[in-house]
Amino acid sequence: MGSLRAILKHPDDLYPLVKLKIAARHAEKQIPPEPHWGFCYTMLHKVSRSFALVIQQLDTDLRDAVCIFYLVLRALDTVEDDTSIATDVKVPILMAFHRHLYDREWHFSCGAKEYKVLMDEFHHVSTAFLELERSYQEAIEDITMRMGAGMAKFICKEVETTDDYDEYCHYVAGLVGLGLSKLFHASGKEDLPPDTLSNSMGLFLQKTNIIRDYLEDINEIPKSRMFWPRQIWSKYVNKLEDLKYEENSVKAVQCLNDMVTNALIHVEDSLKYMSALRDPAIFRFCAIPQIMAIGTLALCYNNIQVFRGVVKMRRGLTAKVIDRTKTMSDVYGDFYDFSRLLKSKVDDSDPNAKITKERLETILKICRNSGSLNKRKSYIIRSEPRYNSTMIVIIFIILAILLAYLSATRPRLVLWKSLCH
Ligand code: IN0
């Protein structure tokens, strides 16, 4: 019902949403027949939802390498995240994870739901890893080793300063950027960019996740996970968890805005990184999460809901970003729109208003100087829904056709499968 209301409010979300749904169904039917590759691609769709579709559009060799890299990182993350594993068990696993990639027998049971399946059946991932070209294996092994060591370091260390924060984000996300750049280079499709730019791509995504996931992380059972740096939150409250209490709402939002302002530092490098990409599929793969990140920051800024529940971009807007991101002009356009939206939310009474506005102005200037803004139509900033009664009738007819189509294809698929067996 919530999604129907969202579609009525944003009727032009419907087309990209339907397109995304059809693409997802198509991708699910293209799962490779070999059991280990079949497992890896099925798992990828389960753990990364829409992002799996973007991976699927890469050329075969690179796509397989990225799929394995993604699953290895998710597995490493599952070990790091599982707060029920004792430190003396966890640290050696993280440190040796890169070696386990070469051992088809290795597995370690932890995590929940689909992540538990990933961990229990990890032999499929290592079997697939061993079939990758050596240059891809080396890149994945090197990053897994450095990330595991970094995670182990932060098991026993709190994120105190903003330097610690950058260091932690480097291990868990900046290194992903370095690894992906190596994979792109190994595929022969891209030059190797400076490490600082690859690092910033990851830091921008991870800092956005850390901001958005405050409540989920603080409420983690049996133990909170805390990634917001003390150097920032201690300006507003005595304990990080105090931000979620209603009496601290004003301070909480100021602290949140400080965190968003910190994340904005990485935008300039990220835009530079993306503007140097040549392959259209690699470009889309990199650009879509970055646009989602600036969109999420615009949504979170000055928004007390971050401390009350889940704040996420609506599915229709995600579908639009996936559908329409093709060139660097699209990226500049979306960064421009979201930065303007963010700037409109800055209140002069906020302690960091000046620096936030300066950082946003730098981004807006880069986008303007790209010279590509006037060639596009903004689909992000639109205050009123543009629909009338005819539009609503059309939407209902399309939805009815879609529902009929979806329910008609299901039994036929089952029948088709049973005929094949
Ligand atoms: C990613 C990144 C990612 C993609 C493209 C280029 C990158 C360059 C540098 C660093 C990371 C890059 O993207 C994914 C996006 C993702 O998983 N989205 C989720 C949404 C969500 O809320 O989780 C989805 O379901 O669609 C990402 O977030 N990370 C990631 C992990 C592995 C790889 Cl190979 C690429 C995680 C992280 C921690 C930000 C690096």
SS3 letters across 176-232: HHHHHHHHHHHCCCCCCCCHHHHHHHHHHHHHHHHHHCHHHHHCCCCCCCCCCCHHH
Cβ(49) to ligand 1 under 6 A? yes
Instruction: Name the catalytic one among 104, 146, 154, 225.
Output: 225
What is the whole-number distance in angstroms between the Cα of residue 51 and the centre of ligand 1?
A: 8
> Which residues contact residue 216 at a Cβ distance below 8 angstroms, ignoring those fewer than 6 apart?
310
Cβ(129) to ligand 1 under 6 A? no
Which atom number of ligand 1 is nearest to the Cα of residue 201?
9
What is the whole-number distance in angstroms between the Cα of residue 384 and the centre of ligand 1?
A: 32
Please, are residues 333 and 376 in contact by the beta-carbon 8 Å criterion? yes
Distance (Å, whole) CA 394 – CA 176 = 44
- Which protein residue has the closest C-alpha to ligand 1 atom 11? 202
Distance (Å, whole) CA 317 – CA 310 = 16
For residue 167, the model assigns a pLDDT of: 98
Q: 182: which 2 tokens?
A: 């190596």
Distance (Å, whole) CA 10 – CA 405 = 23
Active-site annotation holds for 386:
no
Q: Which ranges constitute the DSSP H helices of 301-327?
A: 315-324
For residue 221, the model assigns a pLDDT of: 80
Q: Give phi and psi for 136, each to the nearest 5.
A: -70, -45
Cβ(202) to ligand 1 under 6 A? yes
Quick: pLDDT tens for 107-129: 999 999 999 999 999 999 999 99
- Which protein residue has the closest C-alpha to ligand 1 atom 36? 173
For residue 25, the model assigns a pLDDT of: 84
For residue 224, the model assigns a pLDDT of: 83
Active-site annotation holds for 230:
no
Element (H, E) at 71: helix 60-81
- Which protein residue has the closest C-alpha to ligand 1 atom 22? 209
Please, are residues 294 and 303 in contact by the beta-carbon 8 Å criterion? no
Task: Kindly state the DSSP code that residue 172 receives in the 8-state scheme.
Answer: I
Which atom number of ligand 1 is nearest to the Cα of residue 49?
25
- Which protein residue has the closest C-alpha to ligand 1 atom 28? 205
For residue 228, the model assigns a pLDDT of: 98
> Which residues contact residue 255 at a Cβ distance below 8 angstroms, ignoring those fewer than 6 apart?
228, 232, 233, 235, 236, 237, 243
Closest CA to 206 of 238, 248, 165, 239: 165
Which atom number of ligand 1 is nearest to the Cα of residue 174?
10
Distance (Å, whole) CA 95 – CA 146 = 9
Cβ(179) to ligand 1 under 6 A? no
Task: Kindly state the DSSP code that residue 264 receives in the 8-state scheme.
Answer: G
> Which residues contact residue 188 at a Cβ distance below 8 angstroms, ignoring those fewer than 6 apart?
none
Cβ(289) to ligand 1 under 6 A? yes
Active-site annotation holds for 382:
no
Cβ(172) to ligand 1 under 6 A? yes
Cβ(168) to ligand 1 under 6 A? no
Instruction: Name the catalytic one among 285, 301, 332, 379.
Output: 285
What is the whole-number distance in angstroms between the Cα of residue 46 and the centre of ligand 1?
A: 14
For residue 329, the model assigns a pLDDT of: 96
For residue 54, the model assigns a pLDDT of: 92
Instruction: Name the catalytic one among 63, 212, 284, 314.
Output: 212
For residue 387, the model assigns a pLDDT of: 56
Which atom number of ligand 1 is nearest to the Cα of residue 312?
22
Q: 1: which 2 tokens?
A: 């019902």
Distance (Å, whole) CA 3 – CA 195 = 41
Helix (H, G, I), strand (E, B) or coil at 380: coil
Q: Which of 73, 81, 176 to mutate to test the pocket of ligand 1 (most atoms within 8 A of CB)?
A: 176
Cα-based distances in Å from 50 to 24, 27, 214, 289, 320: 8, 11, 23, 10, 12
Closest CA to 82 of 136, 49, 118, 56: 118
3-class DSSP string for 5-51? HHHHHCHHHHHHHHHHHHHHHHHHHCCCCCHHHHHHHHHHHHHHCHH
- Which protein residue has the closest C-alpha to ligand 1 atom 14? 289
Query: Residues of the chain whose pLDDT is less than 70?
Result: 1-2, 375, 377, 380-391, 409-421
Predicted model pTM: 0.91
What is the whole-number distance in angstroms between the Cα of residue 289 and the centre of ligand 1?
A: 7
Verify cis geometry, omega within 30 degrees of 0, for the bond prior to 222: yes
Closest CA to 236 of 213, 253, 216: 253
For residue 412, the model assigns a pLDDT of: 41
Q: Which residue has the tokens 């392959």?
A: 279
Q: Which of 140, 196, 205 to mutate to test the pocket of ligand 1 (most atoms within 8 A of CB)?
A: 205
Cβ(173) to ligand 1 under 6 A? yes
CA angle 137, 140, 141 (to 5 degrees): 80
Please, are residues 168 and 225 in contact by the beta-carbon 8 Å criterion? no
> What do you get for the CA distance between the two ends of the chain, in Å?
38
Cβ(176) to ligand 1 under 6 A? yes
Active-site annotation holds for 212:
yes
- Which protein residue has the closest C-alpha to ligand 1 atom 31? 70
Quick: pLDDT tens for 124-172: 999 999 999 999 999 999 999 999 999 999 998 999 999 999 999 999 9
- Which protein residue has the closest C-alpha to ligand 1 atom 33? 70
Cα of 77 vs its chain's centroid, Å: 14
